[in-house]
């Protein structure tokens, strides 16, 4: 899956949790990615973040930073 598609999907998840406020949204987004994303997808979004994370919304970027490596 392309990084652009993963960024789009992650940002959509972030928009869903945004109403909870950043403090609650960050762990909720990370939890969702762990529960519902294939490990290869998580590794790809982590690699994208390591390359700068272009396109990730700030709250989503924080959530991705909390994913296990």
Indicate whether 1 pLDDT > 90: no
Mean pLDDT along residues 7-31: 98
pLDDT at 21 over 90: yes
- Using the structure block, give the residue that is written with the tokens 């609650």: 24
Nearest to 35 by CA among 59, 68, 5: 68
End-to-end CA, the chain: 19
Confidence of residue 30 (pLDDT cuts 50, 70, 90): very high
- The predicted model gives 15-33 an average pLDDT of 97
Q: What is the pLDDT of residue 31?
A: 98
Look over the chain and give the mean of its residue pLDDT values, rounded to a whole number.
Answer: 97
pLDDT at 27 over 90: yes
Nearest-angstrom CA–CA distance, 5 and 11: 10
Phi, psi of 27 (to 5 degrees): -65, -30
């Amino acid at each position: 899956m392309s990084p652009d598609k993963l960024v789009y999907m992650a940002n959509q998840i972030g928009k869903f949790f945004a109403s909870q406020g950043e403090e609650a949204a960050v762990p909720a987004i990370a939890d969702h990615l762990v529960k519902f994303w294939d490990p290869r997808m998580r590794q790809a979004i982590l690699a994208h973040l390591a390359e700068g994370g272009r396109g990730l919304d700030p709250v989503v970027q924080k959530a991705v930073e909390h994913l296990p490596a």
